[in-house]
């Protein structure tokens, strides 16, 4: 049985959430956007299901995880909550069947083999998975994952044509140690080109605790925030 969260933890998360929402509002005001255009995804990796419940009580119902073993258990424990589960980490094909059982959105589709595996798993599970094509924003390196921009159109076409899958848009992680703004501007160009071929693929998942303002300035519709909401990472929850 999971222990009830303390009142101090609730107030900490409440205050952090208020601060993050204020940052989102300020970033939107700067570029003339409506804050209601932005979906806040709380990345809860390494944090307990009790934090997920607190977030849900506070109105955050989009939850992101990046490890299947942790995410599957947490999703099961929170099955009674009206949550949208986002799988945001690199996804190996041997984890696809498990992920397809609970995830609503998979952000990290970066290769044709993964498209095929997700399609098979989604059909088997009788579910529809919204998929985002992860775009690499790094020159000459793929340490943070993603398809090369030149490969995005074909990959998006494959997702759109696959049974059980819905093409939602694109996702990216800013390069380490560099100004994220130019990278997010490149992502915006890729997203614009994708929408020309697939008008319904409107999601741009970009921006985290340290760079959400730059991402919003470049058209992000979804920001993935962990540390700014929940604090420094804890030991992995198993």
Show the tokens assigned to 170. 């694109």
Gap between the Cα atoms of 4 and 178, Å rounded:
41
Q: Are 206 and 188 contacting, i.e. CB atoms less than 8 angstroms apart?
A: no
For tokens 């979804």, what's the residue? Answer: 222
Q: What is the DSSP letter of 127?
A: -
* pLDDT, tens only, 194-219: 999 999 999 999 999 999 999 999 99
Q: Tell me what pLDDT residue 1 has.
A: 42
Q: What is the pTM (predicted TM-score) of this model? A: 0.94
pLDDT digits (tens, 9 = 90+) for 105-149: 999 999 999 999 999 999 999 999 999 999 999 865 545 689 999
Beta pairing class for 84-87 and 203-205: unpaired
């Amino acid at each position: 049985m999971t222990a009830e969260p303390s009142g101090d933890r609730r107030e900490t998360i409440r205050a952090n959430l208020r601060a993050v929402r204020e940052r989102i509002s300020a970033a939107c005001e700067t570029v003339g956007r409506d804050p209601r255009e932005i979906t806040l995804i709380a990345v809860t990796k390494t944090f307990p299901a009790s934090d997920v419940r607190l977030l849900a009580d506070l109105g955050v119902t989009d939850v992101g995880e990046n490890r299947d073993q942790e995410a599957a258990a947490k999703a099961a424990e929170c099955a009674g909550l009206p949550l949208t589960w986002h799988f945001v980490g690199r996804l190996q094909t041997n984890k696809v069947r498990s992920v397809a059982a609970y995830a609503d959105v998979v952000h990290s589709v970066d290769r044709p083999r993964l498209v095929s595996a997700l399609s098979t798993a989604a059909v088997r599970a009788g579910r529809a998975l919204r998929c985002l094509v992860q775009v690499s924003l790094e020159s000459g390196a793929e340490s943070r994952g993603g398809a090369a921009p030149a490969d995005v159109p074909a990959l998006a076409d494959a997702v759109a044509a696959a049974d059980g899958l819905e093409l939602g848009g694109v996702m990216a992680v800013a390069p380490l140690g560099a100004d994220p703004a130019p990278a997010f501007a490149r992502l915006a160009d890729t997203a614009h080109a994708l929408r020309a071929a697939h008008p319904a693929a409107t999601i741009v998942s970009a921006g985290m605790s340290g760079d959400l303002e730059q991402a919003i300035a470049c058209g992000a519709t979804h920001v993935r925030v962990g540390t700014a909401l929940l604090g420094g990472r804890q030991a992995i929850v198993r």
